[in-house]
Structure 1
């Protein structure tokens, strides 16, 4: 093992630059995969219905159009990240990582090329492919599959950095490292939830804009036009209502569609997230300890608070929609919303009133707060945090189920919501976005001081293990 070499740079280049660029890119990539999934669902719904559903047609087309604009910026950002940030600022580390994961990056690049061809073909020929709906749906599915494999290859690299498991010795160990599959499952669900949240956010903003314009139209229109309601569903009034009313109904529908995806897919995340954390505990214990008892322990409180906030905001939106439409069980929905808010506050209780558990022990105050210590037993993971998580999931599941049941029975009417419901949608989208960033920070920060857990240090550019590589010699990559 050669003499270690210090990494040059400062907090801006070695820390904030990577964090900002990576977190923005992750949100863009996640939206693209989730958006293509939602487009497949909308295209399928529109295809199987005898009367073409114009709402789903418009949503699917809108998702592809937005994906094109975001894809262009996201691709440029990814190239900047690799060429400038990783190669320029973290060159020694990235070269070492490339020597281990070259074929994974190569396959990821191939999927990227396929993604370019498919997404631009769909965008440029969307209207012409309308005469061949099944072919268009097939291309959407193919695009989604390509994007998923691209994510899978990137997840191999990200998971290897946390749980190497001899991935520098055997390619199969690299691909099937302990956290690879569970991270991919976690991100697959998160991608769809984030796309739904983004749709909800945009729909909320658009609903506010359209209803404000509608109010202006009605103030200036004759009395007969002013009598029309945003939520009017009578066919006889459809021809005389202003275009803004139809737009308001569409964005109201799109908002609830996105909210259902955001809440529904997030419901599965605690189960997958627990398995992910368990694999880290078993195969990268220092990283797990850092998350649960170290510098990131209080950041986990932020994460569970954001998770509860997603469920609470979703339930609040469902409650307001059911209440506005006079749907049954609206009052119960309101009670469930209040219960979710309470459970979220309880889950946010810290287990100790200090930055880390080590600080508590060092201060010799590792006893309950009612005995003058810094420990809060009500904030312990078992049984209180687990119980709170279980309660969150069950309450949110009831809320979503009650809302979907009311919707399937035509007890809800598009457009009959106030502007506060749109604000809730905006809050839901923003909360999901922040939670994605917090989860990214936790995953990447947990392995410090390592760049690759147990192998490559963040301050000393060297591989610490000297296990024989698959091609002979030492797998230790050192700087000279």
Structure 2
């Protein structure tokens, strides 16, 4: 796609944004009825696509500039090539972010004109001034960053990296800014002795933006976007590995998939904790959110979340297993026997401790921290060891056990139905449905992955990686990881929106339409899958356009230094 074509797309998107803001001021506009999907689902589809494209566009520049800096610092052309290829795809998807954003405004205005008018008036400076200014600035800096890549090499590389840092700052501020209105819909201003309407009338723009769930949402989306960008990078690498014609290209794209997944895994490990923080703040804002999410209308959504996260961690560790098999000397690496022992014991010990000393009681840490740190602090003094592959196999088993604990409910009644004795879990096993059990399962998933990462890092230091010799099945694992990540984002985006119940903005703007109900998991899952497939198709097309063989050949010298055998 040429520069003028991208510029035209962005100009149309900006026109849509400004036109939408102006249109929102028109009085007496009647809503449009979308056939087949309904109004709410139509808004959901466009909004979720915009969120997915935006997540990649905001997350990718973070590790792009880090990769470029590493390439400059280590004088390793692989990092520079990775950064450039991901930037090529980012430029195309940036246009799609703008297009879906403009479409989102129009669909929202057409379907919910009264709410949209009210909402834009609440954040008029954000939508009419700050966001467009940041979007235009980000566009200029992104294209400058991309088109100065060849010109700013050697001694000028530092200024190019600084330009990338500036791009990240603009992206970060943009995300923080737009998260204000987003979080406001869930947790608007609230104070004792004042009605929400009176408080809103007296509030400043900053008061509305800095609501109770704003910062937790920012933190959750930062690591979520980085993880998402890493998984999409792995997807790009998998596509290119499958189509590679030479051993050098296979070696490079094997390495690229490894780096992308490594970044994604690192960010994913923080996701449960920032997600819990967001849920905690929302429940602290209004406790009715908690049972509504966990035990009422949205409970099956969280069951599905547990299944998807379990699959995600299983796939992550399976990719690590396949990566380990292409390292010469891996069979010589061993680990203290305490590591698998703690893996097996952790969920059950943690359940027992937290049932006695619930968070944030510091006594729980007094029991759990020594247990978690034992393999790393005490393990070196214990001569009994096990092989790396044994540790990973036990890790697989504990991931399955942890996910089974996560998925175990209090009973098997339909959502909203009474929990009669015949469908409840037997009293001897009811502890598996408690919150301590769920947290124990979550921490075990993270702990197993951290242990496997440390083990893998030890293996690659002592062995020799045969880049390009990884099992071909690993590329399908990278594709599955990207799919799970996209699908889970769609699922939890639906949860965040549906937790408002029958409100557009909780406690302030009710949704009185006929579609103001909580859809079933089945209905939602079909649409989430459709959205995921559309996003997959667009990303795949972007990869083909940006990294087609004719363009990659011109950069062959950058990939040629990649050895087949490397430490």
Q: TM-score, normalised by structure 2?
A: 0.70
User: Is residue 427 of structure 1 aligned with residue 480 of structure 2?
Assistant: yes
Indicate conservation of the 8 Å contact 2:403/2:441, yes or no: yes
- Alignment correspondent of 2:49: 24
Alignment of 1:137-286 (within 5 A): 137-166=161-190, 168=200, 169-171=202-204, 172-210=206-244, 213=245, 244-286=246-288
List structure 1 runs of 4+ shifted beyond 6 angstroms.
5-8
113 and 376 in structure 1: CA distance in 2 versus 1, 3 angstrom threshold: farther
Q: Is 1:339 the counterpart of 2:398 in the alignment? A: yes
Matched, 1:60 2:83: yes
CA–CA distance in structure 2, aligned partners of residues 61 and 410 of structure 1 = 29
- Give the secondary-structure state (helix, strand or coil) at the position aligned to 2:153: helix
Is 1:33 the equivalent of 2:58?
yes
**For 2:500, what is the secondary structure of its paired residue?**
coil
Instruction: Select which of 449, 454, 458 maps to 2:511.
Output: 458
5+ residue gaps, structure 1 = 214-243, 462-480
Among 85, 110, 126, the residue aligned to 1:104: 126
Residue 315 of structure 1 corresponds to 317
Q: In the TM superposition, what whole-angstrom CA distance separates every residue of 1:193-226 from its partner, at most 9, and x where no partner exists? A: 000001112212222232xx5xxxxxxxxxxxxx
Question: 2:418 corresponds to which residue?
Answer: 360
CA 36–320 in structure 1, closer or farther in 2 if over 3 Å, else same: same
Preserved CA contact (<8 Å) 2:87 2:146: yes
CA contact (8 A) 1:32 1:71 kept: yes
* 1:451 match: secondary structure: strand
TM-superposed CA distance for 1:8, in Å, is: 6.4
Post-superposition Cα deviations, 1:129-171, rounded to whole Å, max 9, x if no partner, equal 2241111100101001101111111110110000002473322
User: How far does residue 370 in structure 1 lie from its aligned partner after superposition?
Assistant: 4.1
Distance 1:184 1:307, change over 3 A: same
- Alpha carbons of 1:359 and 1:281: their partners in 2 closer, same or farther (altered >3 Å)? same
- Provide the C-alpha distance between the structure 2 equivalents of 1:249 and 1:55, rounded to a whole number of angstroms: 10
1:42 corresponds, among 67, 77, 98, to 67
In 2: Cα distance, 1:347 partner to 1:90 partner: 38
Distance, in Å, in 1 between the alignment partners of 2:422 and 2:69 is: 57
Query: Is the CA contact (8 Å cut-off) linking 2:30 and 2:113 kept in structure 1?
Result: no
Where do 1:387-406 residues align within 5 Å?
Answer: 387-406=440-459
Q: CA–CA distance in 1 between the matches of 2:489 and 2:76?
A: 32
CA separation in 2, counterparts of 1:18 and 1:38?
A: 31
Distance in structure 1 (CA, Å) of the matches to 2:38 and 2:97: 20
Contact 1:352 1:379 in 2 (8 A): no
CA contact (8 A) 2:187 2:213 kept: yes
Query: Would the aligned equivalents of 1:47 and 1:133 in 2 still touch at CA under 8 Å?
Result: yes
Gaps of 5+ in 2: 1-28, 191-198, 334-387, 515-567
Match of 1:229 in 2: none
In the TM superposition, residue 349 of structure 1 has moved relative to its aligned partner by: 2.2
Give 1:90's aligned residue. 112
What is the CA-CA distance between 1:391 and the residue it aligns to?
0.9
Counterparts of 2:263 and 2:303, CA distance in 1:
24
Give how far 1:332 is off. 1.7
- The residue matched to 1:412 in structure 2 has which SS? strand
Asked whether 1:118 is paired with 2:141, we answer yes
> Aligned equivalents of 2:90 and 2:224: distance in 1?
17
Query: Once the two structures are superposed, what CA deviation does each residue of 1:393-431 show, in whole Å capped at 9, x if it has no partner?
Result: 111111122223333445433122111111111111111
| CA apart distance, 1:268 | 0.7
Q: 1:294 aligns with which of 293, 296, 300?
A: 296
Look up the SS of the partner of 1:164 in the other structure.
coil
Q: Which residue of 1 aligns with 2:344?
A: none
Q: 1:340 to 1:411 in 2, by over 3 A?
A: farther
CA pair 129-182 structure 1, distance change in 2 beyond 3 A: same
Match of 1:77 in 2: 100
Give the alignment partner of residue 494 of structure 2, picking from 432, 441, 444.
441
Is 2:432 the counterpart of 1:417? no
Aligned length: 416
How far, CA to CA, are the matches of 2:432 and 2:45 in structure 1? 31
Kept in 1, the 8 Å contact 2:413–2:423? The answer is: no
Paired residue secondary structure (2:326): helix
Q: Is the 8 A contact 2:503 2:509 kept in 1?
A: yes
Partner of 1:133: 157
Helix, strand or coil: the match of 1:162?
coil
